[in-house]
Amino acid sequence: AVSDGPELTRWPAAVAAAYRTAGYWRGQSFGAALREWARRSGDRPAALDGDRTLSYAALDAAADRFAAGLVALGVRAGQRVVVQLPNTADFLPVVFGLWRAGAVPVFALPAHRHSELGYFCRHSDAVALIIPDRIGGFDHRSMVDAIRAQAPTLRHVIVAGEPGPHTALSDIDVEPVELADPDPSGLAFLNLSGGSTGLPKLIPRTADDYLYSVRVSVEICRLGPETRYLCALPVAHNFTLSSPGVLGVLMAGGTVIMCPNPAPDTAFPLIERRRATMTALVPPLALLWLNADRSGVDLSSLRLLQVGGARLPDEAARRVRGELGCALQQVFGMAEGLVNYTRLDDPDEVVNTTQGRPMSPADEVRIVDDADREVPDGQVGHLLTRGPYTVRGYFRAAAHNATAFTAEGFYRTGDLVRRTPDGNLVVTGRAKDQINRGGEKIAVDEIEAHLLAHDAVHDAVLVGVPDQHLGERSCAVVVLRPKAQRPSPAALRRFVRERGLAGYKTPDRIEIVDEFPVTGVGKISRAALRAALRRTFTEER
């Protein structure tokens, strides 16, 4: 395949050396880390999943056997494997097995469909895809043909559950073999970015940088062997995986409780039964939990609720302690790196009204105006950041990297923030072409391109409009071709869905208009158009 830029943009050598000297990067691979955790926590439960208990020792052994099985299949070090698994205990031996085999997982979410999965496979030259048989009513095996058609390098489809014509996950289980430990400073896995231009970007992370971020997160969130973490958001999301998430829990010797669905009727009984001490949610779920009937359910084990992924309204934040009986922590993070936390001993006012501050003393944060000049404290500006766990470039995306990062290696987050006098960040808005639908990110031009693929569509603009529950939801404004047969909004929504996209990307609403606003001098810029349409369809409500 043609490579569009490097797979991993390394930190400058002097910077990397400084991170090592400071003890941030410790030169340990993920596989070696699990070995250490298993040596320490052996028979203790690493993960609970339904009635199944996976001990640290069993996880360690299963990862070895899965790694050996991958090697027997022909998967080689450095090769990419797209992983789409729900919140089950299987996720852990699969991912650590991949790491031990030196393979590079690409973390997809359960909501992704054939268009996105095909793209991840193609863009990463994946040799294997790991999917569940079904989640809820959807059969993930039904996407395989459409994915294969896009991804010529794909050789193996591995299914957790009933394999059909594919390889069963349970068959990739052979006697452990001696394997070379991968370079901890090399490409270890690919995270997904919410994206703002075109297709989602893949984010190259290393064991050195990621394990550092997990270690600091464990300290800040005070995890220990007594921690019982309810994994309610998708396990492969950066928040759930690393802030401190599932990896943090394993590092601390605690227990992950796999939760198949974050809705109160599933999550609450599980908290009660397994005595969960902490969990992480996006704001709409936190609101759902706050508004749910909690009579007859005992949530008293819960000590800490983390909320992140989108802005939590201050009013909701203030309700958490009184109504759920646990502390709140706001988490403002990104799959590219930087994670901000409110601290457990912060005053309530800070916890309820800010998104916290960077977790590492080595995180560099600049808040700048449109010309990249630093703004005075308290003023809103663009957030730029670099540091020991923030990437310096996307995977094979040279052209995009030229604008997504400054010449000095700062990542342009696209977030608008201000810094409070005590050093915390408040997220006030966004400058990127993205909709944050309750924590789920939608790149507007990705969806516009799908709408434009309809032969009756002349032009389409996707905008975010305020929504009480989700924070914002998506509204597509569409101009149809004059002579074409006019599809209904419902037909257009169906068209987008059938192109094989995650359900949350289907426009919540489609407005068909005769023409877009124009100025006296002709067509206005796309950004101005989006702003104008956002105003129109926001005021109308």
* Interface region with ligand J2J, contact rule CB under 6 A, candidates 95-103, 261-269, 330-338, 530-538: 330-338
- CB distance 487 to 456 below 8 Å: yes
Among residues 330 and 352, whose Cβ is nearest to ligand J2J? 330
* Residue 427 makes contact with ligand J2J by CB under 6 A: yes
Burial of 406 (0-12, 13-18, 19+ CB in 10 A): middle
Q: To which residue do tokens 């208009």 refer?
A: 513
- Distance between CA atoms of 383 and 380, rounded to whole angstroms? 9
Please list, residue by residue across 93-116, b when 16 or more beta carbons sit within 10 angstroms of its beta carbon and e when fewer do: bbbbbbbbbbbbbbbbbbbbbbbb
| List 95, 158, 221, 335, residue binding ligand J2J (CB under 6 A) | 335
- Distance between CA atoms of 233 and 211, rounded to whole angstroms? 20
Q: What is the CA radius of gyration of the chain?
A: 23
| List 396, 441, 454, 499, residue binding ligand J2J (CB under 6 A) | 441
* Interface region with ligand J2J, contact rule CB under 6 A, candidates 319-327, 332-340, 458-466, 517-525: 332-340
* Residue 196 makes contact with ligand J2J by CB under 6 A: no
* Residue 339 makes contact with ligand J2J by CB under 6 A: yes
Spatial strand order in the sheet of 202-205: 167-168, 156-160, 128-132, 80-83, 104-107, 189-192, 202-205
Tokens of 343: 């601290």
| List 238, 255, 279, 385, residue binding ligand J2J (CB under 6 A) | 238
Q: At what angle do helices 444-452 and 489-498 cross, to 10 degrees?
A: 110
- CB distance 414 to 426 below 8 Å: no
Closest approach, Cβ 332 to ligand J2J, in A, equals 4
Closest approach, Cβ 436 to ligand J2J, in A, equals 6
* Interface region with ligand J2J, contact rule CB under 6 A, candidates 2-10, 219-227, 308-316, 515-523: 308-316
* Residue 332 makes contact with ligand J2J by CB under 6 A: yes
* Residue 243 makes contact with ligand J2J by CB under 6 A: yes
User: Which residue of this chain has its Cβ atom nearest to ligand J2J in the complex?
Assistant: 333
Closest approach, Cβ 218 to ligand J2J, in A, equals 13
Q: How many residues bind to ligand J2J according to rule CB under 6 A?
A: 23
Among residues 69 and 194, whose Cβ is nearest to ligand J2J? 194
* Interface region with ligand J2J, contact rule CB under 6 A, candidates 176-184, 294-302, 304-312, 512-520: 304-312
Tokens of 47: 């993960």
Spatial strand order in the sheet of 381-386: 364-368, 381-386, 411-419, 425-430
If residue 191 lies in a helix (H) or strand (E), which one and from where to where? strand 189-192
* Residue 194 makes contact with ligand J2J by CB under 6 A: yes
- CB distance 531 to 519 below 8 Å: no
* Residue 310 makes contact with ligand J2J by CB under 6 A: yes
Closest approach, Cβ 429 to ligand J2J, in A, equals 9
Please list, residue by residue across 321-355, b when 16 or more beta carbons sit within 10 angstroms of its beta carbon and e when fewer do: eeebebbbbbbbbbbbbbbbbbbeebeeebbbbbb
**Helix and strand numbers, DSSP H then E, in the chain:** 17, 27
What secondary structure does DSSP assign to 75-130, as a single string?
Answer: --TT-EEEE---SSTTHHHHHHHHHHTT-EEEE--TT--HHHHHHHHHHHT-SEEE
Closest approach, Cβ 194 to ligand J2J, in A, equals 5
Among residues 56 and 229, whose Cβ is nearest to ligand J2J? 229
* Residue 308 makes contact with ligand J2J by CB under 6 A: yes
* Residue 239 makes contact with ligand J2J by CB under 6 A: yes
At residue 169, the 3 state secondary structure works out as: helix
200-229: which residues touch ligand J2J (CB under 6 A)? none
Among residues 89 and 192, whose Cβ is nearest to ligand J2J? 192
* Interface region with ligand J2J, contact rule CB under 6 A, candidates 238-246, 256-264, 290-298, 365-373: 238-246
* Residue 330 makes contact with ligand J2J by CB under 6 A: yes
Pure H helices in 386-482: 398-404, 444-452
Closest approach, Cβ 336 to ligand J2J, in A, equals 7
Among residues 189 and 495, whose Cβ is nearest to ligand J2J? 189
* Interface region with ligand J2J, contact rule CB under 6 A, candidates 76-84, 305-313, 342-350, 461-469: 305-313
| List 41, 355, 401, 474, residue binding ligand J2J (CB under 6 A) | 355
| List 334, 460, 465, 480, residue binding ligand J2J (CB under 6 A) | 334
* Residue 232 makes contact with ligand J2J by CB under 6 A: no
- For 318, 332, 355, 416, the CA distances from 349, given in Å and listed in that order, are 9, 17, 11, 21
| List 7, 60, 346, 415, residue binding ligand J2J (CB under 6 A) | 415
- Distance between CA atoms of 539 and 336, rounded to whole angstroms? 34
| CA dihedral for 200, 201, 203, 204, sign (positive or negative) | positive
Burial of 515 (0-12, 13-18, 19+ CB in 10 A): exposed
Closest approach, Cβ 441 to ligand J2J, in A, equals 5
Closest approach, Cβ 331 to ligand J2J, in A, equals 4
Judged by phi (left if over 0) then psi (alpha if -120 to 50, else beta), residue 487 lies in: beta
* Residue 311 makes contact with ligand J2J by CB under 6 A: yes
* Residue 413 makes contact with ligand J2J by CB under 6 A: yes
* Residue 354 makes contact with ligand J2J by CB under 6 A: no
> Footprint of ligand J2J on this chain (CB under 6 A)?
194, 238-239, 242-243, 308-311, 330-335, 339, 355, 413, 415, 427, 430, 436, 441
